[in-house]
Amino acid sequence: MTLSSSSRPKDMRTWIAQLEAAGELIRIDKPVDPLTEMGSLLYQSREKALFFEKLPHGWRSLGQAPANIRHAALAFGATEETVVPLVAERMGKLIPPVMVTDAPVQELAFGKGEFDLTQLPVHIAGLRDGGPVCGCGLVVTKDPDTGQRNVSFHRLQIKGPNKSGILLYPRHTWKNYEKYQARNEPMPVAIFIGHHPLYYAAAATTAAYGLDEFEIAGGYLGEAVRLVKCQTVDLEVPADAEVVLEGYIPPHYREEEGPFSEFQDYYVTGTGKNPIVEYHHMTRRRDAIFKNLQNGSEMEGCVFHKIPMSAAIYRRLRDVGGGPNLHNVMVLPGIFGLVVQMTPRAYGEAKNLMLAALSSEYQHPKIVIAVDADVDIFNPAELLWALSTRVDPQRDVTVISGTHNHAMDASLTELGAPGTGLWQRFGSKMLIDATIPPPADPEARAAFERIRPRNPHLRLEDYAAEESLALVRSLSPLFFGSKMLGKR
């Protein structure tokens, strides 16, 4: 559904209202200390979003929104099972941004000395983190040669009233920075905090260098992103964000940064001598709401990795070998694994798709598993069951050695160091074909027909005693084989 141009643009406030209406938001009305308490509360809230109403200096903030794929599906107007194919579709529909002058995010402006980053409700996520890290700042930069814009996530460790660290994985923002560094010039940056989650999904989408992620955001939203000129740097930011920080990344300068609770559920990767950002200007809404993001496996940060990565790979696989019978793609916990759900048309076709999945825009995928349509890919027990009952290791497992892998995969050999363009990991990849024989071989396929009860439509609650009804209704609908009953 697209909004007409007269309706209110999607922002973090429309998202909060949507979450609340769907029963997906918990309000926290007790005071919470971002440095000692907030991370523990976010860490616990795997099902619901949290809205912190009493933070230091009068701030409010949203976290764990999306907390899971269900929330991400809500933001896209889809279901858990349809969200990835839908995002893959919208990825191809770029909508250019429009420039505006009425910008809620510029209601208030603060020059150097008039704001203090340490007074923002940035939280310390985990026990061994090096300090508070803003995980929800989206970094806007430009290629100094072409003026092409880039938007991406970068962890920002708060280091003082006007200074943060920044982790630049060697990709687009790094590429822009290297160009400024070669000229010995500081790179202007604008960082916006707090917006509709589809802006975050767009920033986490790895596309071609030179493609503006605000055009991707427009496609995801079904409406053009409203941009406004920054006040002190030659960059543009979304007019309907909550907070904007303007500053520079100085060339050639590095400082110790990290450790930080990262997406793999580990602290150390990325830690080292990393660049810094110096801030000289802040704008915000008068009643700005902050955004906190907790990383760690299966936390909000992972949802923002999973949706665009799964969708980009789904998009790529759709055309392998002239249109396979592809059902879904989902990134697994830890982000270096992937499941491809498909009905092979021929023996070996699953392997072809998995080879393509292991080599795409994304460096993360290391292990890929292919399963059939009858496996519920959102139920880890079903994935493990498919692995143990549908795989002949000598035939179905293939290891490809000597590959370039993601530099933040602690299980592989690291070369170079963070903060340099040489940072890398050298390792291998694995594909596991857990599909069953194709429909073209019905006899072999029949050995894998899953059991179903004789009357799959019967419901426990219609038979349970009155005093047991509450107990029956509290049961998780996600039990092994539940998809076979059409219950999900």
The CB-of-85 to ligand FMN minimum distance in angstroms stands at 20
User: How far apart, in whole angstroms, are the C-alpha atoms of residue 427 and residue 404?
Assistant: 6
Peptide bond before residue 66 is cis, with ω within 30 degrees of 0: yes
How far is 105 from 283, CA to CA, in rounded Å? Answer: 6
Among 150, 274, 294, 405, binds Mn ion (CB under 5 A): 150
| Alpha carbons 143 and 150: distance in angstroms, whole number | 8
Interface with ligand FMN, residue 71, by CB under 6 A: no
Q: Which does 303 bind (CB under 5 to 8 A by kind): Mn ion, ligand FMN, none?
A: none
Q: Would the CA dihedral through 404, 252, 264, 204 be positive or negative?
A: negative
291-350: which residues touch ligand FMN (CB under 6 A)?
Answer: 293, 301, 304-305
- Per rule CB under 5 A, count of chain residues that contact Mn ion: 2
Asked whether the beta carbons of 131 and 123 are under 8 A apart, the reply is no
Q: Report if residue 141 touches ligand FMN, rule: CB under 6 A.
A: no
> Looking only at residues 81 through 110 of this chain, which bind ligand FMN when binding is defined by CB under 6 A?
none
Query: Which of positions 200-239 make contact with ligand FMN (CB under 6 A)?
Result: 203-206
Which residues does 298 contact at the CB level (< 8 Å), separation at least 6? Answer: 46, 68, 333
> Total residues at the site for ligand FMN (CB under 6 A)?
20
Contact partner at residue 305 from Mn ion, ligand FMN, none, CB < 5 to 8 Å by partner kind: ligand FMN
CB 142 to ligand FMN: min, Å: 12
Our finding on whether 173 is near ligand FMN (CB under 6 A) is yes
What whole-number distance in Å separates Cα of residue 16 and Cα of residue 7? 17
| Site membership for Mn ion, residue 142 (CB under 5 A) | no
CA-to-CA distance for 24 and 399, rounded, in angstroms? 41
Q: Is 405 in the site for ligand FMN (CB under 6 A)?
A: no
What are the start-end ranges of the H helices in 300-400?
300-317, 349-357, 380-389, 393-396
138 binds, among Mn ion, ligand FMN, none (CB under 5 to 8 A by kind): none
Nearer to Mn ion, 106 or 205 (CB): 205
Backbone angles phi, psi at 412, to 5 degrees: -115, 170
Q: Which is nearer to Mn ion, 213 or 257 (CB)?
A: 213
| Residue that has been written with the tokens 């857990």 in this structure | 434
Single out the segment in contact with ligand FMN by CB under 6 A; choices: 25-33, 73-81, 148-156, 475-483: 148-156
C-beta separation of 162 from 248 below 8 A: no
Token pair for residue 252? Answer: 């050639």
Contacts with Mn ion in 171-210 (CB under 5 A)?
172
Q: How far apart are CA 485 and CA 114, in angstroms?
A: 61
With CB cut-offs between 5 and 8 Å by kind, which of Mn ion, ligand FMN, none does residue 347 bind?
none
What does the binding site for ligand FMN look like in residue numbers (CB under 6 A)?
135, 150, 152-155, 167-169, 171-173, 203-206, 293, 301, 304-305
What does the binding site for Mn ion look like in residue numbers (CB under 5 A)?
150, 172
